[in-house]
Chains A and B, each alone.
Chain A
Amino acid sequence: MEKNIRQGRVWVLLDSAGKIFEDIDTDQIYHNAHLAVTDPAQMGQYALGNLEGWKDFPRKCRPGDILVAGRNFGAGSSRQQAVDCFLTLKIGAVLAPSFAAIYFRNAVNSGFPVLRIRDLPPLLEEKKLATGDVIRIDVLSGIALDVTRRACFGIEPMSAVQYDIFKAGNLFRYGKAG
């Protein structure tokens, strides 16, 4: 598959009441108890380990899966492990209305697609996007398709810098290329 295209099964990060989690912080994504871990291969098992109802995520996710979260995803700390844990699990992308600034940078620098999704609340309310759907996104054009429902929705394409780093693989490769 073309590098710009990501296709995978969706996990919408909902709480026990069925409401989308907003302001998910890095301690919910990757708890500080595991910050001494330096081997990326060991990080996947802790992904979403402190997000209520999602502790079993590392066991139930599959490579290519795509996460959909509420606004301000990745609030809190600067820990790269909160990105690395998803890379270890080969998660395809995270879509959210907005990301915390440091988290967004960390993801960009690791070549991990984090993309702003437009009008998420109505998509969820009108059940146009739900866990289990297969979606296909083009990170460059911003065209997103729910393959299961045969319906389009909007994501913001990557910015030029984000795309250049993504294309190179990560900030280190990009730095050498540029």
Chain B
Amino acid sequence: MGQTILEKIIQAHTGDEVAPGKFVWMNLDIRSARDFGGPNVVGHYVREYGESAPADAKKTYFTFDLCAPACSLKYADNQQACRDFARKHGIEVFDVDRGVGTHTFVEEGIARPNEIVVGTDSHMNILGAVGCFGQGMGDVDIAFAFKTGKTWFEVPPSAKVVLRGLPSPAADAKDLALFLCRELGTKKIALRAAEFYGDAVARLGLAGRITLCSMITEMAGIIGFVPGREAGLEAEIKKYLPGGYSPFLADDEAGYADALELDVTGLPPLVAAPFSPNNVRSLAEVRGTKIDSGFIGSCTNGRTEDFARAADILKGRSVKRGVMLKVVPATRRVYEELLKLGTIETLFRSGAIIVNPGCGGCAEGHVGLTGAGETQISTGNRNFSGKQGKGKTYLAGPAVVAASCVAGEIIGPEDL
């Protein structure tokens, strides 16, 4: 019997038998914690293991991306507690200047194809974008991983998702992700590793793959992989991985729990309405909804290409008076690219508020929160009730968010 992509990755990290439903102990290549979860990891670690060294400090990281720089005394304390622990054990910290940890791992070549990276971030599975098995875990898991370098895992079944056709030129990777959120809901790939096939995904660049893979969590999946690739992607990923890029491919006779086929021909831009990323509507259904604020960024849409898309819309236009457009690059490197390309200037001139790199509005601690009665349109990945505050959050791609901020209401770029 052949193996799926995830089965191959897990098999390369364990001596146990790998098959869906089997429990294995697997060796971890990288373990990490953020400023959320991190202080609790340190607390568990010190309580359980005292002063003893972690399994391998060089494979252990902290990434501060949620409350960056700390905006409350408690977070300042928490981050410093992690720094002190890290310094003592020789662990590298990607500090509050660096931005989203998962993205930093890709840029630094730390998240590598066919390897396993865990951290206190439920969107760690973004790393599926580079063929790496990323997995979010809680602070108990991560403290244990810091110390032992391993964890238990129940091998999930895999699902094969084949996309037929090509989306309309107006749609981007976020629209594809929202389409999948609608079609797959939280049931069809729940607790499964998904492999996506078809031209619509094979042609995605790294930024688009990150967008797609980041929302597997919202489909209740374990991780998503996009094995098909075009030559451009290879070059793009090699920028970060000097060692080359050869992710595992599934065997022809690999076993899948589900095989799904979806047609994306002519897919238009989509919007997820409150209060679920799976509550996906056509633009026509929500067009005209008044907005108070917009947000472009997050681990889902915080790459250079995402801001370039927004800048294309905003060039020579202004954000409507009274609307706040918040822009948060995913990482310092993205910020630098935006400076070089002049994208920051375009966004600034349009009236956008440019903020330092970080996670943005997914949690209290960075920008992108809403007040009671406020309506926001965001490129983030979640709009659960109350998550970003008492307001309502709509989710869309960067072009739709940018256009909506110009109009002061939800519209598509073609409506401008």
Contacts and interface: CB of A to CB of B under 8 A. Distances in A.
A76 B122 contact: yes
B141 A106 contact: yes
B10 interface: no
A102 B156 CA distance: 13
Interface string A100-130: 1110011001100000000000000000000
A105 B74 CA distance: 27
A13 B384 CA distance: 17
A78 B138 contact: yes
A50 B37 contact: no
B266 interface: no
Interface string A143-178: 000000000000000011100000000111001000
Interface in A27-83: 27-28, 31-33, 35-38, 50, 52, 71-72, 75-81, 83
B220 interface: yes
B186 A23 contact: yes
Given A78-B136, A161-B152, A172-B44, A38 B141 contact: no
B43 interface: yes
A32 B217 CA distance: 17
A21 B235 CA distance: 46
Given A32-B387, A105-B138, A78 B122 contact: yes
Interface residues of B, number: 49
Contacts of B23: 159-161
Given A31-B386, A36-B75, A106-B141, A79 B36 contact: yes
B39 A79 contact: no
A23 B44 CA distance: 29
A35 B140 contact: no
Nearest to A23: B186
A71 B278 CA distance: 15
Given A72-B220, A102-B137, A160-B23, A175 B144 contact: yes
B186 A72 contact: yes
Contacts of B139: 80
Contacts of B387: 25, 27, 31-32, 50
Contact of A36 (B78, B124, B136): B78
A98 interface: yes
Interface string A128-143: 0000000000000000
Nearest to B223: A101
Contact of A27 (B74, B191, B386): B386
Nearest to B121: A78
B186 A75 contact: yes
A106 to B, nearest CB: 4
B382 interface: yes
B220 A36 contact: no
B236 interface: no
Contacts, number: 115
A175 B148 contact: yes
B222 interface: yes
Contacts of B121: 78
Interface string B59-74: 0000000110000101
Nearest to A39: B43
A162 to B, nearest CB: 9
A13 to B, nearest CB: 14
B120 interface: yes
A38 B39 contact: yes
B40 interface: yes
A154 to B, nearest CB: 19
A39 B384 CA distance: 26
Contacts of B135: 102
Contacts of A33: 364
A127 B186 CA distance: 26
Interface in B250-268: none
B138 A106 contact: yes
A54 B36 CA distance: 25
A173 B39 CA distance: 20
Nearest to B137: A78
Contact of B137 (A28, A32, A105, A160): A105
A76 B217 contact: yes
B40 A23 contact: no
Contact of B138 (A36, A80, A161): A80
Interface of B: 23, 36-37, 39-40, 43-44, 48, 66-67, 72, 74-75, 78, 120-122, 124, 135-141, 143-144, 147-148, 152, 154, 156, 186-187, 190-191, 217, 220, 222, 276, 362-365, 382, 384-387
20 contacts: A23-B186, A28-B384, A28-B385, A36-B72, A36-B74, A38-B78, A76-B382, A76-B384, A77-B122, A80-B40, A80-B140, A102-B137, A102-B138, A105-B138, A105-B141, A106-B137, A106-B138, A106-B141, A175-B147, A175-B148
Closest 9 A/B residue pairs (Cβ): A106-B138, A80-B138, A32-B363, A36-B74, A78-B136, A109-B140, A78-B122, A80-B139, A50-B386
Interface of A: 23, 25, 27-28, 31-33, 35-38, 50, 52, 71-72, 75-81, 83, 98, 100-102, 105-106, 109-110, 159-161, 170-172, 175
Given A35-B37, A52-B385, 4 more contacts: A25-B384, A28-B384, A75-B186, A81-B40
